[in-house]
Structure 1
């Protein structure tokens, strides 16, 4: 039986079609394809992702969020992927609002119950002019680690700067960081697969994924 090709999923948090963040993910997709793997992209702007509602029961409920939007389908794509890259621009010195809404809904509404992204390989691309890219990158690092994902060290963060009005990939150092990140993500994905094929077990134990286990249902 032919081995299934690794899948890397890019989640784009930019409202601007064809902007710097889109170009960055297209560049990453080309690098993934050169390694014989598949790259899929979800543009959050093309999907209905509702902000968290005022229900206030996220810390007590034990089943996924019931707000009717595209979140269940997006989460299903994340579960199927071997690696996930969050790509977002900096807006207002912080995380672009589409990505902020998404990680809030994904975390409290879906991922916290059994941490299905545990042991998947994660990556981050941040685009901006020249300010606050580090803060946005750090926030996404915390989110990946919260979900027990594997974040490979790849030197400098994959941050792409562009001060011109036209979208372009002109940051040579940033592009080198993106390439290192993508290559090391794929290396780690293949390493994890080889280990599982050889031993029949994951590299890291699958237990202890749900810090909420044992809580009493209250609704």
Structure 2
């Protein structure tokens, strides 16, 4: 029996009950209405150690030996059909929890065989007014680095709130979120249909371990 699309939401906010939490709660409602499932990972509830001074990330051929929860989170992401990264703007940039996570996950676990390749990705940025586009662009670069598939929704999902209390008041941002989720689930189902018909992924890769390839040159 075919199950509905599974989306993992990565919440990079330190604040429980804040704008980012509300945005992911709304996202879950949209996904469930379309026959999918959202599993949210709250980075604030996990132990994530910053990159250390070892300095061998560009030469090692095996995952990072740091003992924390990053490997477990990556395994959850690998089981998903799609991933939504949700993050607030802090200090005109990416909130530090998400920054630490994408660094550790990327150089410590994902760069060896790009296990997120061909998964459908989405991005939600919450903020007051400034630098949300810059933060969105940074996460886009990370998703492209991991060879994920980004579907256009017309506009980036930037949810702005200038009030002193959390809330989803940005009508244009919510409309963009709705369209992004519809297109994400549609793309996931299209990719599944292609693989069911052909027995092969729509975008096969033959260069998953970049470190091995470079060592052979």
CA distance in 2, matches of 1:133, 1:215: 36
In the alignment, which residue of structure 2 is the partner of 1:187?
186
RMSD of equivalent CA atoms: 1.1
SS of the residue corresponding to residue 62 of structure 1 reads coil
Work out the CA distance in 2 between the residues paired with 1:58 and 1:27.
Answer: 37
Matches within 5 A, 1:10-159: 10-159=9-158
Give 1:211 deviation, angstroms: 2.3
Contact 2:191–2:201 (CA under 8 A) maintained in structure 1: yes
Q: Equivalent residue for 1:206?
A: 205
After TM superposition, where is structure 1 displaced by more than 6 Å over at least 4 residues in a row? Answer: none
| Other structure's SS at 1:11 match | strand
Q: 1:89-112: per-residue Cα shift (whole Å, max 9, x none)?
A: 000000000000000001000000
Distance in 2 (CA, whole Å) between partners of 1:104 and 1:29 is 26
Secondary structure at the aligned position of 1:160 is classed as strand
Cα drift, residue 157 of structure 1: 0.3
Structure 1 SS opposite 2:162: coil
> Is the partner of 2:201 in helix, strand or coil?
coil
Q: Work out the CA distance in 1 between the residues paired with 2:161 and 2:143.
A: 26
Distance 2:139 2:209 in 1: 20
1:177 aligns with 2:179: no
* Paired residue secondary structure (1:212): helix
Q: Number of matched residues? A: 216
Q: SS at the partner of 1:22?
A: helix
Instruction: Spell out, residue by residue over 1:76-125, the C-alpha distance to the aligned partner (whole angstroms, 9 max, x if none).
Output: 00000000000000000000000000000010000000000000000000
Q: Within 1, Cα distance between the matches of 2:73 and 2:29? A: 22
1:214, distance to aligned residue in structure 2 (A): 3.5
Partners of 1:195 and 1:148 in 2: CA distance: 18
Query: How far did residue 212 of structure 1 move?
Result: 1.8
Specify every segment of 5 or more residues in structure 2 that has no aligned partner in the other structure, as ranges: none
For the residue of structure 1 that corresponds to 2:154, the secondary structure is coil
